[in-house]
Chains A and B, each alone.
Chain A
Amino acid sequence: MIIKTRDFDELEINESDIIHFPNGIYAFEDQKSFVLIHYPDQDVAPMWLQSVDDPSLCFIVFDPILYVEEYSPNISAADMNALKAEKKDDIRYLAISVIGKDVKDSTLNLKSPIVININNNYAVQSILEDDYPIRFPLFSDEKGA
């Protein structure tokens, strides 16, 4: 199927690529279907989480593992159930970024990651009990940019 995207005009996607958010994303609860647009050859790359139904809605997301060593949040049993996930190997994380006016001021939400069950493409945005920041600098000094 072909979808309209915010940043890449029209893209052809497989229906099997659609990520299902039964509860939507906080503040966008009515948006239940997204696709992840990414570039597999890039080691460190932004990805685009594009709404299937609303071309204007798109989040720029990053793999938090690339920014925080041992990012290993505790996902609540309720969220694991919602994903029909049984073990941590079933899931992957994406962190939503807020891009600053100066891109170098951008931040990642590590407190409320998108959690995806890679086996069935169900996803939730999980607000963690763990002590991770909602606005983690994407270009922190120690990491450089």
Chain B
Amino acid sequence: MLVITRKINEGIKINDNIEVIVVDVSGEKVKLGINAPREIKIVRSELIQTEQANKEAALSPATVVTKDLISLFGKPHDKK
């Protein structure tokens, strides 16, 4: 991974059309400003990781999982 040290108001340029600027630093938080063309998708990394985890969660092999869970946690009672 490329690591570059920047101060507040300094930035980096990616290709000719994306600019990332350090707007503010406060404790553990860094505020970034990004100038990029509208078609460039910019999201927090956690959002992609959450989507990925959700997709994996939805793909859990249903029947086996339910059987295993019940054997691990005990047989569920009927609702009511």
- A interface residue numbers (CB < 8 A to B): 6-7, 25-28, 37-42, 44-46, 57-60, 96-99, 103, 107, 109, 111-112, 125, 127, 134-135, 145
User: Which size bracket describes the interface of B in this complex?
Assistant: 20 to 34
Residues of B with C-beta under 8 A to A111: 46, 49-50
Q: Is the CB of B58 within 8 A of A109?
A: no
- A26 touching B51 in the complex, CB below 8 Å, given contacts A39-B77, A41-B77, A103-B69: yes
B74's nearest neighbour on chain A, judged by CB, is A42
Question: Does B66 have its Cβ within 8 Å of any Cβ on chain A?
Answer: yes
6 further A-B contacts with Cβ under 8 Å, apart from A38-B79, A109-B53, are A42-B73, A60-B60, A99-B57, A99-B69, A109-B50, A127-B46
Chain A residues closer than 8 Å to B77, beta-carbon distance: 39, 41-42
B62 within 8 A of A: yes
Which residues of B are found within 8 Å of A60, using beta-carbon distances?
57, 60, 65, 69
Rounded to whole Å, the gap between the CB of B32 and the closest CB of chain A is 15
Q: Are B56 and A98 neighbours in the complex by a CB distance under 8 Å?
A: yes
Say whether A6 contacts B62, CB under 8 Å: yes
Does B38 sit at the interface, judged by CB under 8 A? no
